[in-house]
Structure 1
């Protein structure tokens, strides 16, 4: 099976399944018993016509006690299925009218139904595997809106996905948020640098929490900043002040999340790893 993507927004719109019959291989053997010898690698499960029970009324022999789970599909059958899939996908992409479909993965950011910018399904799938509280923001759009928020971020803040995507992260700020920390974040984003700050944020229900926030640029395969990732860590219950030094445990977890996001973005865009559509 193989996914078929929409050229418009990169969503998976179909799955194509190709069936490769194996009965033709069985017909090339003298009997059903010898056919099993063609497919089973284990000699202990080979069945010969001399040992198989005979059904004289039907004029054929049948194998007994054959472990079908030990049978494997040959490489020739696998190659045949791959060729069939590629041929079918090429036919679909060449004949489809309108916005069409594609066998390749989409671009990282596309327009949603209301015109907002959202990340495509291919990148979304990779980001959902990152089990950390983080958001992905696009600095090339006005006010640097969030284009993706992890499930752990939604649980931490109490907001829904619809309430977060498209907004600047400042909605987490409140009356006691340190303006100097906010200013430092803005300066680092404009300079294309990383930074780690501890600031007071507020959940949807207005309860405050101390957020150890690490922000870092995410570059494309061309080396340009494509996104900014912000990784949040609730340190409200931590008695000792959390260190932002590289050797500290919380910071190591944040750097791990940043690395996973960078791999997801760059592998999607890397021409040597996956083919992508480029908007000119």
Structure 2
């Protein structure tokens, strides 16, 4: 009967070089995948109204929309522009009925060395957009990124830090746990359990960490090709109360983005079925 796609969501970054959003949804339908997570540029490429129509017509669940965040900026105008863009992202996620809007915090403003100040801007930015998110019914999912991205992409680098922000912000803010970014953390088990007690796990992203890694951004591995204990982390996440889909998110300029989309999706389903279930 083949591999079972139940419990898998396709983050559309995984096939962004092969398919647009419409084509990706069509492929998911062919393979029995019922959940996706699109990126905002992919939504914009076909138009929000058409994206909504496609999602509804095919009964797709959106495990998230990628992405909001990027709060730090060198001046007030830049920070205000970031807030406006995040409010637009919330509106898009609401229109699509997404489970959450994923937030990538943002790194240091241009010319800055003040990472503590950048982290303050992130916390302040989340508090500023939170009323709009609550009113729109869109949970905000902070995704801590690996420390190698602290300067340019995300100065929130541990699950502990993300949960501290959630605790301060209150209702409507949770976390997206991406194994690529947190697998190395010695506090991972403790912080996943904490997230479960707080009821803050909103998404679970999977791929693998290759050894060696050829590119710090664009060389994520297919599940099973690297060193991450995917099944062990999933057990922690389910023990913490989250049993939502596992979202495959792979950036792979030298490998999976060069292969036919059908091969990529079929491999995602097979690896998820055999390697990732708790």
Same fold (TM over 0.5): no
* The structure with more helix, counted as a fraction of residues: 2
Structure number with higher relative contact order (C-alpha < 8 Å, ≥ 6 residues apart):
2
- Structure 2 length as normaliser, TM-score? 0.24
| TM-score, normalised relative to structure 1 | 0.24
**Structure with the larger strand share:** 1
